Every structure is written in structure tokens, then in C-alpha cells.
Amino acid sequence: MNEYNVSALIKTMQAGLAEDNKQEAAGRLLLNSVAQHNLALVDVDGKMVTNLVKRKAEVHEAIKNAAANPTVIATAIHYFNNVVVPKLNPHTIDDACLQILNLLQRDKTVPDSKYQSLLNLYNCGNMGEFLAMCLLYAVSRPNKKLEAPVDYSDLPLLSEVDNECPLCHSPLVKTIKGVSVKKYSIVRIFPEGLDDDTDDEFCAARTPAKRLDSNDNKIALCNDCAEAYEADQELDEYVRLFDLKEDVSHSYSFRQEIAGMDLEDEINEIVAMLAGLKSTTSLQKLEMGALRIDQKVLPENAILKHSLQEKVLTYYRFIEDAFSRVGNFDLVASEIKLMYEKLEARNISQDEIYIQVATQIHSSTKIGFKHWLASYIIAAFFVQNCEVFREITK
């Protein structure tokens, strides 16, 4: 997220503290620079810190009012120099300060003059005063997260990930009193404001979209995942998000492609041809126990799981009925199971196995190119039916 507030400051400062670096302790340490002054006298407890960090509450009004008083400002600077600075982690505090400055710069509501004044304090080595002024500014800003309605312009990106965070799978939209509200942020995959060396490193790892402000460089994430990515934009996280964007884009294109197609005839053709195949092996023992897709697809293959679930939910009953009409299902299932076992023995990924099963279904039926989609759908059917992929065991 690109909002500078006391929640963001507390979470960022935790990494810069050697002592009192747990959430509640860090919140108390920072807020007491103002809260203990006789112009405020607010008891900062664990509940207050938790609500502030989760952005369920605004900063106590007495703290806000006191933060603008010149005497309190001077006292806060003295407090930071004498109480907070000794508890800083000398190895990580500069990392935390850089994150604070980056957040200030990304927040478009922070005036350039404010950012420059804080940057100057940091560059001059006035660590205590820099952190004190960052805290005083943070407590003076809005903190509570407002329920914002879904932006119409975000709909393509929400549809692309099927309204679910592709990282943690939490819902991105919530309905409150009949209104759809945002539980997401739109993130730029290739970040803004990288230095030249980092920019070159990121470009070398994955070539970014031609226009960084286009949807090709954006993805919808839940607020927590978005905040984590924007706060710590490392190369491996960029590569992960870039590849994830590519996967969800392909999946979305596939969904769009099949949405306007009538695939039932093609599926019937393939089922009929599969039923007419001659078995080349003895009948394989079939596993008839029902297992969910997520019991067989590894957690790291989230996009594959989602793609399989879509196809199964849409076509499973239709394919089951088609096989009941042509017969010979056990023989076909046995052949598919043997095909899977041979692929599994090659120690290739689940994505590759699924593609190979679909490819061999297509090639074995010798049907034209237009039946490729139907072949993938039938391969998904056999994943659900337990001929492809075994149950995940810990």
C-alpha cells in the first residue's frame, strides 16, 4: 500500500529495533514519546496498538492534539534521542529508514516539502530527530482504513485473478450492506523509483511491460500481500509476481476463449474416439475414492489448481454422462492411469504432466487442432477422477 500512517510506521520500525521489536512493544515505545506527556496522558495498551496496526482505529485524539504542540515536539525529540535510539538495531535501522522514506515518497498525499524536510534530517545524521518527526507526522495523519467501493476500472484485473488474491487466496471484494467494497490494492509488478543498478537487475531477470502504467504491469492483490510486496521489493519477489501475472493472464485468456465456445460436441467426439481405442495393456487398478483437486495438486501449483477446478466444475458431469452413453470407461481410465504413471516416473512437474496428458489425449484421437481445448478439459476430468495425480501426503 502507498499510505503513510502510524500503522505503516510501527510495522516498518519493528525491523529497525534491537529491543522492544515486537508489535505491541514497538507501538508503545514509539507512541509513548507523545502519550506520556502531561498534555496527552494516554495509556497505550496492547489493544490500542493492535487496532492501530490493523487500521481499525484512528490515533487517540489527545495524542493527535499534543503532537502539534511545540513543547511536545521538543520533548518527543529528546525522548527519541535518549530512549529510542539506544534500542535501535545498528545493522537494520538504515533499512527501516529507507522503507519509511520510500513510503513517504510513494504516498501521493505527502507534500514534497514534507518528504524533503524528513529526508534532509536523515541525510544529516539526525537519527533521533528524524524518527521523532516521522512519528509526529504519522500520528497526525488518518489511520483507519476506509471501506472504498470497487473501482470500475479495476474489474479487468479482478477478473483476471477471479476476485481472489493469487498469493494467499483471500477474497478481494466484500459485500457490505449490498455494496461491493475493496479488500485489495492494484500493485505495479515492476516497481517505481528503483535506482539504476536495481532497475538493470530487474530488467535482466524479467523484461517488464512496455508501458509500466498499463494493466500488463499490474496485478490485484489483497491489501496485506500488496503492502508486503511494496514494502520489500526484492528481485526474487519481483520474479515471482511477474511469473504469476503471466500465469493468471494466460488462464484468463483461456477462460475468455472458452466462454464463447460450444465445446460439448468436441468433447463428445473425443469421448467417442477414446471409447473406441484398443487397450495395449492389462487393466490398471482404478482408485475410485473421491478427492478434491487441492488434495492432489501441490500448493505451489496454485494456478494449475485453479485452472483444473474451473474445467471440472463446468464439464465434469457432462463428460461423465458422455462416457456412460458410449461405455468402455474403465478401459479408457486404465489407459489414462498408465499414461500418468509413465509420466510421473520421469520426475517432471505437475504442470508438465497435465500438459502431456492433454497432448496425448489429443494425439491419440487424431482430431484436428480445434479440439485442443476439449483435450485439456478431459485431462482435467481424469485429474478429478483420480487417474491423474496422487493424493498429497505429508
Alpha carbon distance 380, 357 (integer Å): 9
Show the DSSP H helices in 232-349 as ranges: 235-259, 264-275, 302-326, 329-344
Based on the domain organization, do 163 and 230 belong to the same domain? yes
Of the listed ranges 22-31, 117-126, 175-184, the least confidently predicted one is: 175-184
369: pLDDT strictly greater than 90: no
Of 63 and 270, the one with more pLDDT: 63
Side-chain-side CA neighbours of 347 within 13 Å: the count stands at 0
Of 339 and 264, the one with more pLDDT: 339
Say if 146 falls within a structural domain: no
Based on the domain organization, do 303 and 342 belong to the same domain? yes
Based on the domain organization, do 114 and 187 belong to the same domain? no
Which among 390, 389, 387 has a CA at the least distance from the CA of 319?
Answer: 387
Which among 151, 137, 168 has a CA at the least distance from the CA of 244?
Answer: 168
| Domain hosting residue 167, numbered range | 152-245
CB 77 within 8 A of CB 132: yes
Based on the domain organization, do 134 and 156 belong to the same domain? no
Of the listed ranges 244-248, 269-273, 331-335, the least confidently predicted one is: 269-273
pLDDT digits (tens, 9 = 90+) for 56-76: 889 999 999 999 999 999 999
Averaged pLDDT, 232-239: 85
Work out the mean pLDDT of the chain and round it to a whole number: 82
Averaged pLDDT, 102-128: 92
pLDDT digits (tens, 9 = 90+) for 148-204: 778 878 888 988 888 889 888 888 888 776 777 888 889 999 988 778 888 899 999
Based on the domain organization, do 133 and 11 belong to the same domain? yes
Q: Give pTM, 2 decimals.
A: 0.50
Based on the domain organization, do 179 and 292 belong to the same domain? no
Say if 145 falls within a structural domain: no
Based on the domain organization, do 267 and 306 belong to the same domain? yes
User: How many separate domains does the chain show?
Assistant: 3
Assign 98 a pLDDT band (cuts: 50, 70, 90). very high
